[in-house]
Structure 1
Amino acid sequence: MPGTPGVEFAGSLVADQRGYYREAGFTSTRFHGSGPRFPSVTASVASGAAFVGVTTTDAVAREAAAGAPLRIIGAQRQKSPWAIVSLGDRPIRTPQEMIGMRVATAMGSAAVWASFLAAAGVPATAVRQVVVPDHAQALAQALTQRQVDAALSSVADVPVALARQGIGCSTFLLADHGYPLVSNVYVVTADALTAARGTVKAFLTAEVRGWKQNLADPMLAAQLTTDVYAKSLRLDVREQLAENRALNDLVQTAQTRRDGLFTMTDALIEANIRLLSTGPAAPVAGHLFDLSVLRELYEEWPRLI
């Protein structure tokens, strides 16, 4: 499964450490990296180098539009973690309140920023975009030094960095203002849904168990990150715990409590397809999302919900 092992993949780390993959029938688990030195997650899955990947919804849509036989089989997070963060003494609570303001964005988030502005109905020319290096510290520094009025960030990045400094902030999710993309989607090939359907179901079973355990005990994955999987990075366990809790709020919702982790309502799938169809992947085929294996899993094992 492509991805750098870290608290972002908390449930997967728990599933690996607790033996849930092994109990599901897998003899071994390998976490493959993604980034400049590695093939993309979608390319790894499409080529067969990885059985399943965790990536962004728009990345899958782009590859599928180019002909890759990929299918999204579930979504870890029902909402995108992208948010607009401002300081507590000068809060910005809606997209309209950004008009006339300076907003810091990282170099790698240009597509998200443009898509969000369009979805929220805010002209790009109405907001002054200030591009900074692609890491949370740079975004937080731009805010605290009053170089900008707000920053585009994951809820697990700048808010956590500011809290570490004892600085209060105001945050609103892009997902609550016209940007409904789900996040950290599971992707497999279309062939896997027929030729290896049982294996796909076994994988999802282990993942569900790992994420349920992470939701119940977020410190476990934080410690696994700092002490085992990313030990060489010398991460702070308190920061990893704060990030894990922030992301968990996007994993477990009223809908997933009812229907099960990683599920999406038909309305949410349709909203994702509509937004994706306005971008470079347009038009997005409805069969890009196939949650049939996940639904079968919960029908067979309702105690996993």
Structure 2
Amino acid sequence: MIHPSEFGALRAFVTVAEHRSFTRAAAVLGVSASALSQLVRGLEERLGVRLLNRTTRSVSLTEAGAALTDEAGEALSNLSGALDHARQAAGRPAGALRIHCFHAAAEMFLLPVLGAFTRDYPDVVLDLTIDDTVVDIVEKGFDAAIRIGEVIERDMVAVRLGGDIRQIAVAAPSYIARHGAPQTPGDLLDHHCIRWRWPGHERPYAWEFFQDGRWFSVAVEGPVIANSRSFTYEAAIAGAGIAFLKEASVAQAVGEGRLVPLLESWSAPFAGFYLCYPQQRQMAPSLRAFVDAVAAPFRDKSV
């Protein structure tokens, strides 16, 4: 029989093994790095085997440590899940909730409700992954995601957040003074475009325009490719070329004259962001609380 105190030591060890750092693991567990080190060292002494190789700059697993991580990690995860299910069976939102969210969506939809949610549901831990990678929610173990409608899997439940969005081409006045302004999307092929690449994709995103009832794309060229939308915005401000960004994100710069909108008649709105999650017979109270909190500001608005 394992002694109850060793559950804490095992959890400490597995967290260090997952993060390869006492400092990061201590932050996750809410304890000091020195206390965490003592827990792990005590576990090693009781087992009579070294589990971790420690240097001043790194932490790595020994062969015994790797084997224990594989077995104990899964067991602890199952135990944590069982405790979460027990809490949720009582109807009280509790436990970890894994959410995947695009950067822009995190600022628009999570930050405004985060304070109230954490206050109202202190037993729920929001484990947020914020990036623009399009991942398989189920395969990666996420409970829900916030992303634009065009990349939502068909078998997901999708709750619309806010209205349509529109992307427009923009450039700094200094760039237009040097190179002129494109009159059609095809003219972009003769300009310096600041391109953006979806994380996980090899090719940059092809800019999408609308005419005569249909969408079409232009594979622009240019001297800069980045995987950060905010960087392409700053590069456009600096006069490096033409960028293609959400209209709302450039509205202030356009109003101040730092950016000039281009090809507006070719830019049409499209369905914006959705909160999506797998279909399920009985939704966990923690997920129900999260969906309600994020969607509440939009329920009384026509979209």
User: TM-score, normalised on structure 2?
Assistant: 0.46
Greater RCO structure (CA 8 Å; 6+ sep): 1
User: TM-score, normalised on structure 1?
Assistant: 0.46
Larger Rg: 2
Name the structure where strand makes up a greater proportion of residues.
Answer: 2
